[in-house]
Amino acid sequence: RTLNIREINVAGRLEASEDLIAESITIAGSIDIAGHIECSRLSIAGSCKARDMEVRDRGKVSGRLVVRENIGGGELKVAGLLKTPKSVKLRELKLSGKLDVGGTVECDYIELKLSSNSRADSIRAREILMERSKEREIRVQLFGIDLINISRRIARRRVKPVLRVHEVVADHIEIYDIILEGKLRGGSIIVGEGAVIKGDVYYTEDIAVDERATILGRVERVGT
């Protein structure tokens, strides 16, 4: 069964055992869908759970996005947690918080501002920026009540978040002030201030390494 609705606006909680298809979904609270979510525009302040999700145009989640299968579509911004045991395939992903993906993250552009230890099997893009989040706190309120309150204690203590990944592959890669446990493969690579790479780095064009960065594996120029 499928719920097919043009526009959804909910302040509170929405639950459904069917697939949910809509042009626009706006939630201030929580949404828990047993099936598939498909929409052009998505805006959630709180939490979202679904079997799988496709946001054709653009989506924004402030809080928790937990999907049991794949996430796909156009542009997605997440401030908080993005979690799936499967894969993420988007045109653009901007995440500030924690990434927990069992499969591959594949986009044209990826921006990860990490506040907590994160993981993915592999990350692939044309352009990738990875750095430690400078945000201190994310608060989502409904009628004056905190739904989400994620304190940035890691940022305050200056503890670097760890990104565990088999490999990161992109035409252009920039990484700052996080610990990467995995390989880097890129055309042009910038290993910026505070970055720690616990793995090998392979590049085809050029590489710049800040004097305050650390690479514990080998650095090698390879053919295209």
Helix then strand count (H, E) for the chain reads 1, 17
Q: What is the pLDDT of residue 115?
A: 96
* Segments of the chain scoring below 50 in pLDDT: 137, 151-156
Output the pLDDT for position 223. 85
The verdict on residue 24 lying in a domain is yes
pLDDT at 146: 56
Q: What is the pLDDT of residue 5?
A: 83
DSSP labels for 65-119? Answer: EEESS-EEEEEEEEEEEEEESS-EEEEEEEEEEEEEESSEEE-SEEEEEESS-EE
pTM of structure: 0.89
Q: How far apart are the first and last CA of the chain?
A: 49
User: Do 149 and 78 reside in the same domain of the chain?
Assistant: yes
Buried b (16+ CB within 10 A) or exposed e, 158-184: eebbbbebebbbbebbbbbbbbbbbbb
11 & 88 share domain: yes
Within this chain, do residues 59 and 134 fall inside the same structural domain, yes or no? yes
Question: Do residues 25 and 42 lie in contact, with contact meaning Cβ atoms separated by under 8 Å?
Answer: yes
Domain count, the chain: 2
Domain extent for 206? 177-224
CA distance 10 to 30: 9
Is position 165 within any domain? no
Does residue 169 belong to any structural domain of this protein? no
Say yes or no: 122 and 188 in one domain. no
Question: The tokens 């940022």 sit on which residue?
Answer: 155
> Is residue 170 domain-resident?
no
Residue 217 is assigned to a structural domain of this protein: yes
Are 137 and 199 within 8 A, CB to CB? no
